[in-house]
Amino acid sequence: MRVSAIIAAAGSGTRLGYAQPKAFVELGNLPLLYYSMRTLRGVADVVEVIVTLPPGKEADARLAAERAGLRVPLKLTQGGAERQDSVRTALALTNAGSSVVVIHDAARPFAAAGLFRACIEAAARSGGAIAAIPVADTLKKSAQSIITATVAREGLYAAQTPQAFIRDLLLAAHACASQAAPATDDACLVERIGGKVEIVPGSTLNFKITTPEDLLVARALAASDQILSGIFD
């Protein structure tokens, strides 16, 4: 199977409070983007990697790929206003010979290579597949900090990336995407056109770095060889 991988790395990361765009904030002297590239190196079916970038970050992205030992062709493109725009631009650059496209957020440095493989295999079988974890907390709705309802968590999942899809299905989903209601993930676009999307068990380690506290935790994890070998292999 031939798989194109897209890494979404064009976000500004303003909530993190750094001048650097989020994908280039460092964990253990390596940019966040490096970790996804290093993991994709171990996913055999991946034949190319396309990265969406903030302006002026091409040289830094090439250096990260070199340090990650990425052996497949690397394509770089500037991201759009929303994540959905960035992915659409990257998708247009994927090789038509790929049957599956897997998309991952650079903001999740600890997605294991095995999770990528599981999503790719499930997508080839079902059309689409995403990593997700069951919601563990009790969910509350509120208005002005006062609880208005408790939401049953049964059957609710927190969606992660990687997300993998048959390439033609993902192209059709993005062709129908609306600027008025941008989707925060690709599965949502595929669901809107009636595509089947499977859930693959994700991991709490595969959290998205959003706040300064997330970065503190990520830096501690990146210092552990045990964590890194579990992710890269």
Which of 5, 9, 200, 228 binds ligand C5P (CB under 6 A)? It is 9
Beta strands in the chain (DSSP E): 3-8, 26-27, 30-31, 46-53, 74-78, 100-105, 128-134, 139-143, 146-151, 157-166, 197-201
Residue 127 is a binding residue for ligand C5P (CB under 6 A): no
CA distance 109 to 207: 8
The least distance separating ligand C5P from the CB of residue 7, rounded to whole angstroms, comes to 8
Task: Select 61 or 166, whichever has its Cβ closest to ligand C5P.
Answer: 61
Task: Select 124 or 135, whichever has its Cβ closest to ligand C5P.
Answer: 135
111, 36 in Cβ contact below 8 A?
yes
Residue 39 is a binding residue for ligand C5P (CB under 6 A): no
Which of 5, 6, 23, 46 binds ligand C5P (CB under 6 A)? It is 23
Which of 4, 6, 22, 115 binds ligand C5P (CB under 6 A)? It is 22
| Residues numbered 63-82 forming contacts with ligand C5P, rule: CB under 6 A | 79-82
CA distance 193 to 190: 5
On the question of a cis peptide bond just before residue 55, with omega within 30 degrees of 0, the verdict is: no
The least distance separating ligand C5P from the CB of residue 55, rounded to whole angstroms, comes to 12
The least distance separating ligand C5P from the CB of residue 144, rounded to whole angstroms, comes to 25
| Residues numbered 87-106 forming contacts with ligand C5P, rule: CB under 6 A | 105-106
Which residue has the closest beta carbon to ligand C5P?
11
Which of 3, 6, 31, 52 binds ligand C5P (CB under 6 A)? It is 52
Q: What are the C-alpha distances in Å from 211 to residues 11, 68, 160?
A: 14, 25, 16
Please report the DSSP string for 63-83 in residue order: HHHHHHT--S-EEEEE--SSH
76, 62 in Cβ contact below 8 A?
yes
* Cβ-Cβ contacts under 8 Å for 135 (sequence gap 6 or more): 153, 156, 157, 158
Residue 188 is a binding residue for ligand C5P (CB under 6 A): no
Residue 119 is a binding residue for ligand C5P (CB under 6 A): no
Site string for ligand C5P, 192-221 (x = CB under 6 A): ----------------x-x-----------
Which token pair is 119? 């999503």
Using CB under 6 A, list all residues that contact ligand C5P.
8-11, 22-23, 52, 79-83, 86, 105-107, 208, 210
